[in-house]
Structure 1
Amino acid sequence: MEQIRLLKPSEIECRIGTIGEKGLTLLLYKDARVDMKILDEVYGPLNWQRTHVMIGNHLYCKVSVWDEAKQQWISKMDVGTESYAEKEKGQASDSFKRACVSLGIGRELYKAPFIWVPAGKTHIQKKGERYITYDKFQVREIHYNEEREIVGLLICNQEGKLIYEMQAEMTAIDVIQRELQRTGVALETVLQRYGLHSLEEAPEEAWQRIINSLKKTKSKGCAA
């Protein structure tokens, strides 16, 4: 079967898990549109299909993809849970998303870190007997290791301010690549400035100078 790619920051939703006076927790999700996009991208629009079936009182979804090497359909099935708003539509969407996880789409989110946002970094207010916030959150950066596990994560609020950071253990080149992504500076610009053909050929002292310079550069979209 084709290799399912890892999720991009723009494909991940942040939802509040718990909230209280001292802070809140965030959970990472994907939606059905992301699943369909990746299925189209990896297998082609005509090379995957979904079917739904009721078993007992539960709605199941079977997602099948065409395996070109084996010349056969490969299927995964899972059950959905109903939503409060639309019972049947909620079960259909949830079962589809779960079946796609069985195929490997977004499975990395199941091992996401515990995301705690202290009250000082968000606007929490008490309404009656419960706490609420109108803040919105988005993943700015996400990094994975070779085992497809999340090792680095940056989350910002609707104002572009950093409210959660998980630092990955990185080599100097990894740090440079991350800083290039954060600042929007082109790699070619850095190489030209330091007279290099590639980062790999640079001596260690050059790596540190590059890192120090980039860290002084403002982020292109997220202010700390």
Structure 2
Amino acid sequence: MNIPRVLNAGDVECRVSKCTKDGVNLLLYKTARCDMQVLDETYGPMNWQRRHSRDNANCIISVWDSDKKQWVEKEDTGTESNTEAQKGLASDSFKRAGFNWGIGRELYTAPVIWIRAENCKLKDTGRKDKYNNPVYACNTKFYVSAMDVDEKTRRITYLVIAADNKVVYTFGGPKAEPKNKEAELLAEKALCRQSVKQYCQLHGADEKEAWQIIADTIGKPSKEFAKEDWQEGKRIVEAWGK
């Protein structure tokens, strides 16, 4: 069976996990849409399935093994989110089952991401925590602008976090430039996806609609894009921001 690819910058989101007057800690995470995309890419849309049990607390992802002629299952348990508890529970159990298949497992190797106060929009909420310390909130939208993962060890080797069109955090160093056509195609695809995600986050646009406009402009679906098409897609998005 095929093994899911490592994630790239366009697949990963970041959120604030701790906020103080001096800055914030960030965590990297994947969305359920990311898991669905990687499962489609790796096994084909008709060769995997999911089902839930225990009121969505558990999720089983099954993949068809054409060699063994049987379904292979992996299962995990999720936790409720603060909003839309049942939907959040189903999504979390699905993502955790995806980790069992190797999707995004490299996120567990992420470094401690600390963003200093001068790179954040911090606000004193006027509330106090249980120790009577002021509670701060952060209104800055952070995003992953670059990320490299060692495909053998599945460890993050390079990470860049940006906000308000400037770099606010860097870890490690970028890998060498790709030297073959397939790697070049994947690199251009990642850059285009990153540009689309960044534009949509900054302007509150819908990613699905943005991709449809790009595909219509280029004249073919994104799954058929060549290296030059991904480059053109990136130029289209950059033109929107001007």
Q: Is the 8 A contact 2:52 2:59 kept in 1?
A: yes
CA distance in 2, matches of 1:144, 1:87: 33
CA distance in 1, matches of 2:76, 2:65: 20
Residue aligning to 1:50 = 50
Q: Is the 8 A contact 2:148 2:174 kept in 1?
A: no
Sort the Cα spacing of 1:106 and 1:132 in 2 relative to 1 into closer, same or farther, 3 A: same
Residue aligning to 1:18 = 18
Higher Rg? 1
Q: Is the 8 A contact 1:64 1:73 kept in 2?
A: yes
Aligned ranges for residues 192-211 of structure 1 at < 5 Å? none
CA distance in 1, matches of 2:144, 2:89: 26
3-state SS of paired residue (1:98): helix
Which runs of 5 or more residues in structure 1 are unaligned? Answer: 185-220
Q: What is the CA deviation profile of residues 34-58 of structure 1, one whole-angstrom value per residue up to 9, with x for unaligned ones?
A: 111111111111100111111xx77
Residue aligning to 1:109 = 107
Aligned ranges for residues 55-204 of structure 1 at < 5 Å? 59-129=57-127, 130-145=135-150, 146-157=152-163, 159-168=164-173, 174=176
Residue aligning to 1:2 = 2
CA distance in 1, matches of 2:95, 2:138: 27
Greater percentage in helix: 2
Residue aligning to 1:196 = none
TM-score scaled by length of structure 1: 0.73
Which runs of 5 or more residues in structure 2 are unaligned? Answer: 128-134, 179-183, 192-237
CA distance in 2, matches of 1:167, 1:61: 35
Q: Is the 8 A contact 1:122 1:163 kept in 2?
A: no
Residue type of the partner of 1:138?
Answer: Y
TM-score scaled by length of structure 2: 0.68
CA distance in 2, matches of 1:108, 1:12: 11
User: By how many angstroms is 1:169 displaced?
Assistant: 7.7
